[in-house]
Amino acid sequence: MKTAFRFTRRPYRRFAMFFAMLGPGVVSALAGDDAGGIAMYSIVGARYGYQLLWTMVIITILLAVVQEMTLRLSVVTGKGLSDLIREEFGVKATAVAMLTLLVANTAVTISEFVGIAAAGELLGVSRWVAVPLSALLVWFIVVRGNYKRAERIFLALGFVLFAYVFSAFVVQPNWGEVARGTLVPSLQFDSKFLLVLIALIGTTISPYMQFTLSAAIVDKGVAPSAYRNALIETLLGVILSCAFAYFIIVATGATLHARGIYEIESAEQAALALAPIGGALAEFLFAIGLLGASLLAASILPLSTTFAICQAFGWERGLNQSWEDAPIFYGIYTALIVIGALIALIPGVPLFLIFLLVYDLNGILLPILLIMMLRLANDKRLLGARVNGRLANFLGGSTAVILIVLTVMLVVSPWVNF
């Protein structure tokens, strides 16, 4: 009986151990596959089929470089990005960086609650119930509850996104076309394409991922001697996050695009990509994955934003502080949750348009952070022999330049015929 008991429990133990071992690298990267991420990758697959799969290869490499740079800065200095920015660039530059972060992350927080509203409606729950309850749940868990345990639960719900991987194989796409889309770059120069491309980069390399990773590394007190293990875990997060994105595009390209559904305007349409494996349960699977991803990001994003801002200006911060000792910390955090929830309750809010515009904003603002990070990562006084190599500088700098060029092209595209 003991042997049988152990055998039946072992898979659950391994599953539990897997989630227990997930660290800041995996959590910060997978938080990028949030409501907006699912929406953006679905938009890309529906509108362009496999045409933009090649960008995911490049974006995966660039995300790995940016995350590694963030990890190295935090491990070697023992300080978060906000601290480093304030110390190296002064109060004015810090104010610009934090305002940029606050604007971008407020927009993303709104998108998370819009995703919760969409998931609730797919599950038959009114947004007037789902959004307020979720806002209260997230606020209570983070401020008064066991945040780490909730983080694992939300992350587990988000792993329903594996359904996209299965769906991509079940639907049997033309793998020759998938390979061509992955290996052969294809570009267009109209404003719609540029909007999607900027948003795709802004979705996958989201600024809050860097601040989340940095804060978590400092909080855990990861020593320089543990850098190698932390790097492996961080790169695992990058690979998982980008693999989900890749297969969401493949699945939606093989189902929605192939059926002539080029524009996604609702969560129900996005759920069609899971129909090959879910059938009538497709909407349920999509809703659970969307809900888990949204709750995870709605928990992490406002918290990491609040930590970064308070850290930058030396204000009291931390969930172990009382309201009286850290009023600004709790005030900013609560305000982000309230704003996100209230705007998500606006009737007729254009779900997928919001996601597109939010991550365009992320992509446009991202170069500000990248330029500061590159300056920090090349400072020998901070990192000594662990400053950036030529390849890291080239790839990190290229990311900033590409986004700036795309933004300029987007601005002039209505008047110039490319």
What pLDDT sits at residue 377? 93
How far apart (Å, rounded) are the C-alpha atoms in residues 398 and 402?
A: 6
pLDDT band at 19 (very low <50, low <70, confident <90, very high): very low
- Higher pLDDT: 375 or 206? It is 375
What does the mean pLDDT of the chain come to? 81
Q: What is the pLDDT of residue 198?
A: 86
Q: Does domain 24-412 have CATH number 1.20.1740.10?
A: yes
pLDDT value at position 69? 93
pLDDT at 18: 44
pLDDT at 414: 57
pTM of the model: 0.82
At 153 the pLDDT is 65
Q: Which amino acid is at 195?
A: L
Q: How high is the pLDDT of residue 175?
A: 92
Exposure string for 345-374, b = 16+ CB within 10 A, e = fewer: beeeeebbebbbbbbbbbbbbbbbbbebbb
182 has pLDDT over 80 = yes
Transcribe 100-164 into DSSP letters. Answer: HHHHHHHHHHHHHHHHHHHHHHHTT--HHHHHHHHHHHHHHHHHTS-HHHHHHHHHHHHGGGHHH
Provide the phi-psi class of 171: left if phi over 0, else alpha when psi is between -120 and 50, else beta.
Answer: alpha
Nearest to 229 by CA among 13, 385, 71: 71
Residue 43 has pLDDT above 50, yes or no: yes
pLDDT at position 52 is 94
Boundaries of every domain in the chain: 24-412
Q: What is the per-residue pLDDT for 1?
A: 39
The average pLDDT across 237-248 equals 88
356 vs 394, more confident: 394
Q: Is the pLDDT of residue 15 over 80?
A: no
CB 214 within 8 A of CB 35: no
Average pLDDT of the segment spanning 348-372: 76
- Rounded to an integer, the average pLDDT of 177-204 is 86
Higher pLDDT among residues 386 and 152, named by residue: 386
- Tell me the mean pLDDT in the region 57-86: 91
pLDDT at 336 over 90: yes
> Is the model's pLDDT at 59 over the cut of 50?
yes
DSSP string, 275-327: HHHHGGGHHHHHHHHHHHHHHHHHHHHHHHHHHHHHHHHT----TTS-TTT-H
Rama region for 346: left / alpha / beta (φ>0; ψ in -120 to 50; rest): beta
Residues 6+ apart with CB under 8 A from 20: 152
* Highest mean pLDDT: which range of 180-194, 213-227, 375-389: 375-389
400 token code pair: 């900033």
What's the confidence (pLDDT) of residue 211? 83
Among 7-11, 272-276, 283-287, 307-311, name the one with the lowest average pLDDT.
7-11
Nearest to 173 by CA among 94, 110, 252: 252
pLDDT of residue 418: 39
Per the structure block, which two tokens stand in for 188?
């267009």
Cα–Cα distance between 142 and 80 in angstroms, integer? 20
- Split at pLDDT 50, 70, 90, the class of 210 is confident
- Higher pLDDT, residue 54 or 200: 54
